[in-house]
Structure 1
Amino acid sequence: MSFFLNASALALLVTLGYAAVCSVSPYRNCRKCRGFGFKTKTTRITKRLKRGKDCRRCHGHGIRIRRGRHWWNLARRLHRRGTPDAAQTAARNAAQRSPR
């Protein structure tokens, strides 16, 4: 029994830790360009580093949104679209109360 309790506690700790990281720092460096925003190339003769094309994944910004933050944004957007705001609710209640 203690194995399952420890495993669930560890899973909960990892999940809450990742949620905290996503809330504090929603963006991370792009894995493809390592945060530079472009691919580095070397010249043939001098072997010096040279700026290449903009990164296709991050579009030259060097950062990408974390998956957990992306899922959180999707969930918030879905909830916001499905929940009427206070003005719509008040208008609907006023329309139901008024005699026709």
Structure 2
Amino acid sequence: MDPLLTLAIAAVAAPTVVTLGYVGLCWIAPFKTCKRCAGTGHTTTPILRRPRACRRCHRGMRLRTGRRVFNHFHRLRAEATR
């Protein structure tokens, strides 16, 4: 087999596997832990260190970016076919 062909196949296969893996992850587990509050749903104020609800997630989990994109296109398709 030609080495350039092998390199080309590897260059196409690696991103495809990574993309399909992320799509599967977004399908199976659409939520991920919020980085700001570390999944607690609460942060502290900078001056008094009082706990308050996290402004990013409000509950400790955030919707993955890939799932957010999928939901957007799903809504567009649903509205277009009505």
Provide closer, same or farther for how the CA distance between residues 78 and 3 of structure 1 changes in structure 2, counting only shifts above 3 A.
Answer: same
Please report the RMSD computed on the Cα atoms of aligned residues, expressed in angstroms. 1.7
Amino acid at match of 1:82: A
Quote how far apart the aligned CAs of 1:40 are.
5.3
- Is 2:36 aligned against 1:37? no
1:20-55 Cα deviation digits (max 9, x unpaired): 1000000010010010001258xxxxxxxx871111
Q: Among the aligned pairs, what percent are the same residue?
A: 39
- Alignment size in residue pairs: 75
Instruction: Give the match for residue 55 of structure 2.
Output: 56
> Would you say the 8 A contact 1:38–1:51 is kept in 2?
no
Distance across 1 between alignment mates of 2:44 and 2:60: 13
Q: Aligned partners of 1:51, 1:38: CA distance in 2, in Å?
A: 10
Which blocks of at least 5 consecutive residues in structure 1 are unaligned?
Answer: 42-49, 85-100
Secondary structure at the counterpart of residue 37 of structure 2 = coil
Q: TM-score, normalised by structure 2?
A: 0.82
- State the secondary structure of the residue aligned to 2:25: helix
Q: Give 1:79's aligned amino acid.
A: R
Question: Given that residues 38 and 53 in structure 1 are in contact (C-alpha distance below 8 angstroms), is that contact kept between their aligned partners in structure 2?
Answer: yes
Counterpart of 1:57 in 2: which secondary structure? Answer: coil
- Alignment TM-score, normalising by the size of structure 1: 0.68
The answer for unaligned runs of 5 or more in structure 2 is none
Q: In the alignment, which residue of structure 2 is the partner of 1:14? A: 18
Determine the C-alpha separation between the residues in 2 that align with 1:15 and 1:81. Answer: 27
Residues in 2 aligned to 1:3 and 1:75: alpha-carbon distance in whole angstroms? 34
Name which of 80, 83, 92 aligns with 2:81: 83
